[in-house]
């Protein structure tokens, strides 16, 4: 089996301050993120041979980054894969390097949601029959209700389980200087918050955020010439289904079959047999608290229906056995759609290098192998990308 393992290295990354950046346009954030990545990699603009840019609603075409970054006559590709757009830039660029087309490429994901006339997820094309009255929180809420029922969680237990996820995310995000929503919340606050789509309340839903993040990728065999601690791509999986969940009577809305396959692809490439034991850190796409819970089961960290036990035990907290969303995740760090997938790699990349933003945020344990998960869609119609990042062996 062909694998991308150890063929591509990340040698520089950057991430701007996420938030409601009223004082910044997309260009400013793209520059902030990219110049941090240049500095991190010890490179400059002229070293970049090709670039990928990801944004869903804040622009179209390669010029969106060529103009602010003054990239001069190089190939630039704009990719869009729903909320998985950010990681799609890294995925596409990785294959371009792996096949030998380029040695050094730049990936930029960004989104400017404030001051752009949007109040929530952009609708895009909505099917006139199948898509009526559908919202992202509504679809995930359906999954949550079904999950509670299928695994015997009372509404109270289910709500409390989800609330613990959000409390953990805010705790982590409050400690990251670049996060959007930097305030801790209590279990009570999360439970009492206004409902968006029951059981998902305000604090079960991610932030609506401006941000940009960037990565510089090289051939693995030349990575050492840029830095001593490059991070290698160990595996990548993307599995898009036919979006038949709502028509398929057999689909149960409590499992994420696409994510299961995407994770399996990534594990096989990386040679991971026991993800729970081998992985040291997870960045999961927690657009809603229930998404984090269901993903934990889909990627084989918890047996199906058992995530509650680990959540209750604190397995996924900063000091727990397997920290999840150490930077606060979408919930607290924020969700600038096109940037999120790159940001999900940013935290794992930094933790593997032992260079977490602020030394006190560095996990106490050794971080060798991490998983970043980025996804678009909802149960029944999902678009998940799973990337395994690791040290050079």
User: CB-wise, 153 or 367, nearer to another protein?
Assistant: 153
Question: From edge to edge, which strands make up the β-sheet containing 104-111?
Answer: 76-79, 50-54, 104-111, 211-219, 8-15, 231-238, 381-391, 369-378, 281-283
User: CB-wise, 66 or 191, nearer to another protein?
Assistant: 191
User: CB-wise, 192 or 225, nearer to another protein?
Assistant: 192
The residues with which 83 forms a beta bridge, in sequence order, are 81
For residue 241, what are its two tokens? 């289904």
Give the strand pairing for 369-378 and 281-283.
parallel
Distance in Å, CB of 141 to another protein, minimum: 12
Query: Which of the following is catalytic: 335, 345, 373, 378?
Result: 335
Asked if 161 contacts 292 with a C-beta cutoff of 8 angstroms, the reply is no
> Is 378 part of the annotated catalytic residue set?
no
CA-nearest of 288, 280, 264 to 83 is 288
User: CB-wise, 82 or 148, nearer to another protein?
Assistant: 148
Asked if 385 contacts 369 with a C-beta cutoff of 8 angstroms, the reply is no
Rounded Cα–Cα distance for residues 60 and 96 (Å): 21
Distance in Å, CB of 207 to another protein, minimum: 19
User: CB-wise, 144 or 389, nearer to another protein?
Assistant: 144
Distance in Å, CB of 254 to another protein, minimum: 16
Per-residue H/E/C for 220-242: HHHHHHCCCCCEEEEEEEECCCC
Residue 82 φ/ψ, nearest 5 degrees: 55, -140
Distance in Å, CB of 285 to another protein, minimum: 24
Rounded Cα–Cα distance for residues 75 and 96 (Å): 11
Distance in Å, CB of 190 to another protein, minimum: 9
Q: How far is CA 99 from the centre of its chain?
A: 25
The residues with which 213 forms a beta bridge, in sequence order, are 15, 109
For residue 343, what are its two tokens? 């940001």
For residue 214, what are its two tokens? 């960037």
* Interacting residues toward another protein by CB under 8 A: 154-156, 158-159, 191-195, 198-199, 201
User: CB-wise, 128 or 194, nearer to another protein?
Assistant: 194
Please count the CA atoms within 13 angstroms of the CA of 20 that sit on its side-chain side: 8
Distance in Å, CB of 307 to another protein, minimum: 17
Query: Which of the following is catalytic: 15, 16, 83, 345?
Result: 83
> Is 127 part of the annotated catalytic residue set?
no
Mind telling me the catalytic residues? 83, 335
């Amino acid at each position: 089996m062909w694998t991308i393992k150890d063929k591509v290295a990340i040698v520089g990354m950057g991430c701007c301050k996420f938030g409601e950046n009223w004082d910044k346009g997309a260009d400013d954030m793209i520059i902030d993120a990219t110049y941090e990545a240049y500095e991190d990699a010890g490179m400059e603009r002229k070293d970049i041979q090709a670039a990928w840019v990801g944004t869903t609603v804040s622009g179209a075409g390669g010029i969106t980054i060529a103009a602010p970054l003054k990239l001069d006559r190089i190939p630039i590709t704009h990719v869009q894969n729903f909320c998985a757009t950010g990681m799609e830039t890294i995925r596409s660029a990785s294959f371009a390097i792996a096949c030998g087309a380029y040695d050094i490429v730049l990936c930029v994901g960004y989104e400017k949601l404030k001051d752009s006339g949007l109040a929530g997820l952009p609708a895009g094309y909505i099917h006139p029959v199948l898509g009526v009255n559908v919202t992202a929180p509504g679809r995930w809420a359906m999954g949550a209700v079904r999950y509670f029922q299928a695994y015997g969680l009372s509404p109270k237990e289910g709500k409390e389980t989800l609330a613990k996820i959000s409390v953990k995310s805010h705790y982590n995000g409050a400690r990251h200087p670049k996060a959007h929503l930097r305030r801790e919340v209590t279990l009570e606050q999360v439970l009492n918050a206004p409902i968006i789509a029951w059981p998902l309340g305000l604090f079960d839903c991610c932030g609506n955020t401006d941000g940009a993040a960037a990565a510089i990728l090289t051939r693995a065999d030349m990575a050492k010439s840029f830095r001593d601690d490059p991070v290698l791509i160990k595996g990548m999986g993307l599995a898009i289904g036919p979006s038949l969940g709502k028509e398929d009577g057999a689909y149960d809305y409590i499992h994420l079959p696409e994510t299961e396959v995407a994770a399996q692809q990534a594990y096989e490439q990386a040679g991971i047999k026991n993800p729970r034991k081998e992985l040291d850190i997870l960045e999961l796409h927690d657009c809603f608290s229930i998404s984090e819970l269901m993903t934990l089961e889909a990627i084989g960290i918890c047996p199906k229906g058992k995530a509650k036990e680990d959540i209750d035990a604190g397995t996924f907290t900063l000091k727990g056995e397997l920290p999840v969303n150490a930077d606060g995740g979408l919930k607290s760090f924020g969700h600038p759609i096109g940037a999120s997938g790159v940001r999900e790699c940013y935290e794992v990349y930094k933790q593997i290098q032992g260079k977490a933003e602020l030394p006190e945020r560095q996990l106490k344990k050794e971080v060798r192998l991490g998983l970043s998960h980025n996804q678009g869609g909802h149960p029944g119609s999902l678009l998940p990308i799973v990337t395994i990042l690791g040290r050079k062996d």
